[in-house]
Every structure is written in structure tokens, then in C-alpha cells.
Amino acid sequence: MLNVKNEVLIRVYTVAAVVLVVAVVILTRLFQLTVTDAHKWEAKADSLYVKLVDVPSQRGNILADDGSLLATSLPFFDIHFDAKSEGLTPDIFNDQAVDSLAWLLSTYIDQSFTQGAYRQWLDTLRSADPRTRGIRYVPIAKNLPYAKMMLIKTFPIFREGRHAGGFIAEQTSRRERPFKILAQRTIGYSQREGALPVGIEGSFNTILEGKRDDSPKQLMLRVPGDIYIPINDLADIEPASGDDVVTTLDINIQDAAETALLNACETHNADHGCAIVMEVKTGKIRAMANIGRAQSEGKTGYWETYNYAVGERVEPGSMFKLATFMALMEAGALENFDDKIPVFGGKVKIYDEELTDAVPHGLDSMTIRQVFAQSSNVGTATLTMKYFKSNPGAFIKQLRDFNLDMPTGIEIGGEENPILKNPDDPKSEWSGTTLPWMSIGYELLLTPMQMLTFYNAVANDGRMMKPYLVQRTEHYGETMKEFRPYTIKRSIASNNTIRKAKELLREVVVSGTAHNINTENYAIAGKTGTAQLNYHKFKASKGIRHQAGFCGFFPVDNPVYSCIVVISEPERGGYHGAEVAAPVFRQIADKCFAMKAELHKPVNANKPVALKSSQLPSYDAGSKEDIKESLQWLGLDFDPAVDLAEWGVVVAKDSIGLTMQNRVVGDKNIPSVVGMGLKDAIYLLENRGCRVRVEGVGKVRWQSLAPGTKANGQTCVLSLE
């Protein structure tokens, strides 16, 4: 019996000990969780339901040279309602407030819902039904401008704010362009689904975005549905701001370039085209226009779909002949432009290929000046073969000295590298016809920007400038970084070669292929170019596609701007550079000339000469105060009469002097109004009861009623001229 009792006690003690140990372990673990590791688990719990996120920064603006906005970010707001907000008590969410809120929502937010429908919906959100009660993130409106967001913020219930009224305003930004499609591709974009960033937006994305280590953060709460809602009002948090990018673009020149290019593409039904305007001394890009034919919503039209100016490598055609002639001059050839060379009637066979001039002329010979001005392919190839056939590498070396084998390095992406064949490289596919065809702009590839950079160097007396689109970045008006003009090469050729090159380019416009754009207002120099895009695939009988171009600068004596126009595949109204591209250049140049005072000769540049008596404002009559003010404003000296009355007349005293005399005007007699303007003449005659009939325009030169006649309601005919 005793053994049984002892065995039971042992078991009881064992169980008690186990229970005690378990209790100690549980208490110890509980102490760890609630005291020792409390902060650790609290943080873990918070991380599941609360997190900090960066507040989206305000993207910087893109500005034109004069400060005009090319691209800016406008704030828009998404409004939500937290129906389970802690402070949303029945006192706030009362019947009167709900009624007012329902009416305001139906009036200002969505008029397709009645006040009653909104009222029922709001009641449902705060009902006892567990399926609808306490929804934390109810959408109210999307993409509202700031003014409308502030209006909704004043609605009943919502006016109590985030915690007491459940009002949630989340700010987003939308990129807007005040000038719409102006310079669209050059400005570009940084975030577009399925597309790489392009243009200034893409290349300067980091600067415009403005993300910083000290950027403000927003505390977000996780709610059912795996949705995070802001704990504080996001609209009250000042986001970080990106830097502004100030471009070199001139709005007026850009508009002129795009308008002229678009009109030409439409007129000639071209596939696409581009135009670039560069400031000669600095390399600043003042305009970059790209137009391409595209389909949109079933309609065909022209848009900026691709940056052809920077990204399209093409065979430049005859525009490249400037480089060929300069290479010849650097090699010591072409001493006298009046020397004649054979052109074989405009047709010559080189190995198995026939080379012809674009325009038949039938001449057996031409001067070197004529070869360039009339863009003779045969003459150019003949000269090149004469001096470089035995050493084509010397020709390529000269082209490399002109930097035609290097990209410009412009800051926006997408620039293609030039392609120049090398006779020493087996991979270049150099042949016997490569040299003559390269001399006229084939079997090599350049972008329009690279071609213009070369021409700009010629205009700039040989100094090659790097083209650039951005001149500085700013933060709230303070300059953060400045981009200055950069010289790629101090001189691409000798002074003599540059001088002669300008002479040839001017001849093209005066008497050559571009004589149609010559103007007396200012001097243009440049070169036309007509390239056959598929000459190596098709014979001349069918399927030929062309590219028209013109590149040059103005004014010739002191060049301010260089410009290139390239239009691809014109289908009507001609296809030569002189017919299609040169007129676009002229239109752009005319606008530049009209808008830029520095291109005009000052009106007071020459010493003024004395006017002839017939040119002086003799016998002009009118109010003495008006006459005096006019003469003083014009800077004309005159001798006023003593005790001058109300009305006067100007009389020429001699060839360089004027005097002002009284004109007697009686109260009851017809006055002399000869020399007066119509306003003064009518005033005097009608004040004396006369009726007036007018013939002509200008000043009064004859009146039907003699001065001194008694006024008696007569009709006076005034002849003006």
C-alpha cells in the first residue's frame, strides 16, 4: 500500500514540476516579448501596416532661351474618402452634413448621380453592414486641378480634414507643353510606356527629376485590399523640386522653321524632313524641326515622330561637294576658279558605271566656279580623280581633318556616327568607283546635324563649334550649372581655303543652282543637294526616290546663323534641292532677318545728308502745337514766328531750314485748309457751318471754296493727296 502511495506522489510531483517548468518558460518568453524585445516586434508590426515612401518630386521646367515655358509640370489631385477615419464621429457625419455633401457632389463632381443617390451611397459607407462599413479608400474624383481640389476641401465633412473628415488628397503631376507640338521631338519625353527616353526630357531626366537624399517622405497606412493610404494630407507636404533646364531654342525661329518645313512637306507630299538653325559663333541650336508622315486615328498627317536631324544618317549628295572642293584646295589644287575643265557634255563613264549631271547642259567644259555653282557631278568627279586617284587615302585624310568622321556629341541621345569608307580597310568595300561617287556625296553617311556643323565651321572662319541645346540648369532661378560654347577644332582648314569656300558658296546663290533664293536685303551663301536614295538598287527607269537639301549661312559678310534643310522623298512639284529645300531655307532666313535687329544695318549708320527743298515738309499746316511737336520729334530745326497764333504753316526758308508762320483763320469766313490733315480741315470748316465732301487720301491740296469767302452753309469739296 505504501509503495502505491509513493508511486502516486512521484507522478504528481513530476507533473507539477513539468507544469512549473512550462509556466516559467512561458513567463520568461512573455517577458521577452513584452519587455526585452518589445521594440523589435513593434517595429515589425509597424512595417506590416505602416511604411515611409518618397513624396514624388516636382519635375523641373524646360525653358526656351527667352524664358518661355516649353515643358512644365502641373499639379493634379485624386480625391478619396476614408469612411473609417478615427475622428469621423456621428456629430460630424450627421444628416444635415451628409445632405449638403451629397448635393455638392452631385453638382460639382458627377452630375450623372442625383443628390439622393449620393446620399444613399454615403449612408451605405457608414452603415452597420459589415460588407460595406468602414471602407478606407473610397474614390471621389480623379485628375482634378488645384482650384477644384481646394473647392472640394471646403465641402461639409471633408472640411474637417484627414483625420476628422476622412478627406484624402493625393497629388500627381502631368507634363504639359504650353506651345503644344512646337519642338516636340527635341523636347522629347522620359516616361512613355514601351519607349526609351528621348530628347531633352530623356537626356536630362535626372536633373529634371530632382531626387535628393533629403527629399520629404510620406507615412502610409496599409488597409484591407493591400492598399496604402496617406496618414497625413499629401497636399500639405512640399515636394522636392527638380532643376529647370534652359535651352538655346528661340521660340520665334523654331516656329518659323516648323511652319516652313511643314508647308514644304505638304506641298511636295514628302515623306519626312528636318531643318536646323545654328548660331555661327557659339554653336547654339536656335531651332530644330522634324516633320514626318504618320498615321493617327485612321488619318495621315505630319507630326514630329522621329528626330531626323540627329538620328538619321543619309548620303548627303551635292551638299558634300563643299568638303570635296575644300579637300582639293587644301591639297594645292584649284588655284584659279576661272580655269576650265572638261565636263564631257554632262556624262562620263567611270569603269563600268555611268556618271551624269543632274540637269542636262551639253557643255564640253566649264570653269571650276561653274562646276561648283551649277553642281556638276561630272566636273567634281573629274577633278577629284585627277588629284586623288593615285592616293585616295589623302582625300580621306582631308575629310577627317574636317572632322567629318566624328559625331558632334550633341547632348541629346540618338546621334549616329558618320560612316566614311577607308581605302586601307578591306571591310570598307572600297572600289574603283568609290572615290568619284564619294566626291559627289555618295558611299558615305552623315546626319544633317553633322553636315551643318561642318558648314557652320566654314561660316565661322574655320573654327568648328560643338552644337548644343542646353545652356544652363537652374534651381528657383539660381544657376546650378552652365554650359558654354565649346570649340571642337580651332581651324578645320587654312584661311585661304575658307575664304575661297565662302566665295564658291556665295556664287551658288548669285548665279548657280540656288539663284532662286537670292535677295537684295542680305547675302546668303550655301549649297544645294539632290541625292538619289536608291541609286544602287534601281536603274533610272523606275522606282527612284530622292532627297532634297540645302545648307548654308547668312549674312555672308558677318554670318550670324547657319541652317540646313533636308526633305526626303518629295513626290510632286520637283525633287531638286533648289526647288524643294532652298525655298524653306529662304523662308527661315527671312524670318530670322526680320526678327533680329543685329542683322539689319542701322538707319543712322551713314551721316545724314541735307534734304532738297522739295523733300522738306513745306506748306504743311495745322495746329501750331501739333506742328512743333512733330518737327521736334523728327529732329528738324525751325524758326518759330513771333507771337504765333493757334494755327500755323511750315514754310521752307532755304535748302536746310524751315520757318513756321501764322495762318490767319477768321471766325466767319472760309479759312485756307490747304496743307492740313483731314481732321483739322473738317474741324475748321464745320465749325463755320460748312458741309465737307472729301476726295482722295492724304493732306488737303485743293479746296473748292476760296479762302476769305463768307461762310453760309456751303458745301466745300476737299481734294487730298
Can you tell me the mean pLDDT for 256-266?
A: 94
Predicted confidence at residue 130, as pLDDT, reads: 46
**Number of neighbours of residue 143 by Cβ within 10 angstroms:** 11
Predicted confidence at residue 72, as pLDDT, reads: 85
* Phi, psi (deg, nearest 5) at residue 169: -120, 115
Selected residue with higher pLDDT from 535 and 390: 390
Can you tell me the mean pLDDT for 168-178?
A: 82
Strand partners, 198: 189
CA distances 466 to 70, 366, 469, Å, are 23, 37, 10
Predicted confidence at residue 128, as pLDDT, reads: 47
Can you tell me the mean pLDDT for 592-610?
A: 77
Confidence of residue 378 (pLDDT cuts 50, 70, 90): very high
State whether 103 and 205 are in the same domain. Answer: yes
* Phi, psi (deg, nearest 5) at residue 225: 95, 10
Could you say which of 246, 274, 297 is where a domain stops? Answer: 246
Q: How far is 721 from 717, CA to CA, in rounded Å? A: 13
Cβ proximity of 275 and 260 under 8 Å: yes
Selected residue with higher pLDDT from 54 and 649: 649
**Number of neighbours of residue 120 by Cβ within 10 angstroms:** 12
Q: Which domain holds residue 709?
A: 613-720
Can you tell me the mean pLDDT for 404-432?
A: 91
State whether 298 and 217 are in the same domain. Answer: no
Can you tell me the mean pLDDT for 310-327?
A: 95
Please measure the distance between the N-terminal and C-terminal CA atoms of the chain and give it in whole angstroms.
153
Selected residue with higher pLDDT from 170 and 534: 170
The C-alpha cell at 360 is 542636262
Provide the pairing of β-strand 340-342 with 365-367.
Answer: antiparallel
For residue 541, pLDDT beyond 60:
no
Residue 655 located in a structural domain: yes
> Residue 6 half-sphere exposure, CB side, CA atoms within 13 Å?
3
Reply yes or no: is the peptide bond before residue 555 cis, omega within 30 of 0: yes
Which of 65-79, 320-334, 576-590, 620-634 shows the lowest per-residue confidence on average (mean pLDDT)? 620-634
Confidence of residue 94 (pLDDT cuts 50, 70, 90): confident
Can you tell me the mean pLDDT for 580-600?
A: 90
Can you tell me the mean pLDDT for 287-302?
A: 83
Predicted confidence at residue 721, as pLDDT, reads: 81
Most confident of 11-20, 328-337, 421-430, 448-457: 448-457
Q: How far is 329 from 402, CA to CA, in rounded Å? A: 13
For residue 560, pLDDT beyond 60:
yes
For residue 147, pLDDT beyond 80:
yes
Residue 624 located in a structural domain: yes
List, as one string, the DSSP characters of 268-291: HT-SEEEEEEEETTT-BEEEEEEE
State whether 61 and 176 are in the same domain. Answer: yes
**Number of neighbours of residue 82 by Cβ within 10 angstroms:** 24
Listed residue (622, 517, 525, 641) closest to 579, CA to CA: 517
**Number of neighbours of residue 454 by Cβ within 10 angstroms:** 25
State whether 263 and 228 are in the same domain. Answer: no
Alpha-helical segments (H) within 367-466: 368-373, 377-388, 392-401, 434-439, 448-459
State whether 329 and 440 are in the same domain. Answer: yes
Which of 177-191, 313-327, 387-401 shows the lowest per-residue confidence on average (mean pLDDT)? 177-191
For residue 543, pLDDT beyond 90:
no
Can you tell me the mean pLDDT for 437-455?
A: 96
Confidence of residue 131 (pLDDT cuts 50, 70, 90): very low
Residue 530 located in a structural domain: yes
Most confident of 43-57, 473-487, 654-668: 473-487
Task: Look up residue 591 and give its amino acid.
Answer: K
Predicted confidence at residue 419, as pLDDT, reads: 93
Selected residue with higher pLDDT from 523 and 20: 523
pLDDT tens by residue, 190-221: 766 556 778 888 888 888 887 655 556 666 66
Confidence of residue 436 (pLDDT cuts 50, 70, 90): very high
Residue 476 located in a structural domain: no
Residue 608 located in a structural domain: no
Looking up residue 582, the CATH number of its domain turns out to be: 3.40.710.10
Question: E strands along 587-714, which residues?
Answer: 621-623, 638-640, 647-652, 658-662, 691-696, 700-703
Which of 21-25, 64-68, 265-269, 278-282 shows the lowest per-residue confidence on average (mean pLDDT)? 21-25
State whether 663 and 531 are in the same domain. Answer: no
Predicted confidence at residue 538, as pLDDT, reads: 36
Which of 30-39, 264-273, 327-336, 393-402 shows the lowest per-residue confidence on average (mean pLDDT)? 30-39
Task: Look up residue 259 and give its amino acid.
Answer: T
State whether 703 and 675 are in the same domain. Answer: yes
Confidence of residue 227 (pLDDT cuts 50, 70, 90): low
Q: How far is 190 from 16, CA to CA, in rounded Å? A: 72
State whether 304 and 449 are in the same domain. Answer: yes
State whether 104 and 193 are in the same domain. Answer: yes
State whether 534 and 587 are in the same domain. Answer: yes
Looking up residue 97, the CATH number of its domain turns out to be: 3.90.1310.10
Residue 359 located in a structural domain: no
Strand partners, 230: 220
Residue 131 located in a structural domain: yes
At residue 382, the 3 state secondary structure works out as helix
Length of the chain: 721
For residue 379, pLDDT beyond 90:
yes
* Phi, psi (deg, nearest 5) at residue 550: -150, 135
- Chain center to CA of 177: 10
Confidence of residue 229 (pLDDT cuts 50, 70, 90): low
Cβ-in-10-Å burial (0-12, 13-18, 19+) of 394 comes to: middle
Cβ proximity of 716 and 693 under 8 Å: yes
State whether 623 and 540 are in the same domain. Answer: no
At residue 331, the 3 state secondary structure works out as coil
State whether 30 and 69 are in the same domain. Answer: no
Mean residue pLDDT across the chain: 84
Confidence of residue 399 (pLDDT cuts 50, 70, 90): very high
Q: How far is 183 from 382, CA to CA, in rounded Å? A: 42
Number of domains present in the structure of the chain: 4
Which of 479-488, 580-589, 643-652 shows the lowest per-residue confidence on average (mean pLDDT)? 643-652
Listed residue (456, 118, 97) closest to 280, CA to CA: 456
Could you say which of 180, 214, 246 is where a domain stops? Answer: 246
Could you say which of 597, 622, 637 is where a domain stops? Answer: 597
Selected residue with higher pLDDT from 325 and 668: 325
Most confident of 181-185, 399-403, 663-667: 399-403
For residue 133, pLDDT beyond 50:
no
Q: How far is 551 from 96, CA to CA, in rounded Å? A: 74
Residue 570 located in a structural domain: yes
Kindly give, in sequence order, each residue whose CB lies less than 8 Å from that of residue 155, ignoring residues fewer than 6 positions away.
100, 101, 104, 105
Cβ proximity of 641 and 653 under 8 Å: no
Predicted confidence at residue 214, as pLDDT, reads: 56
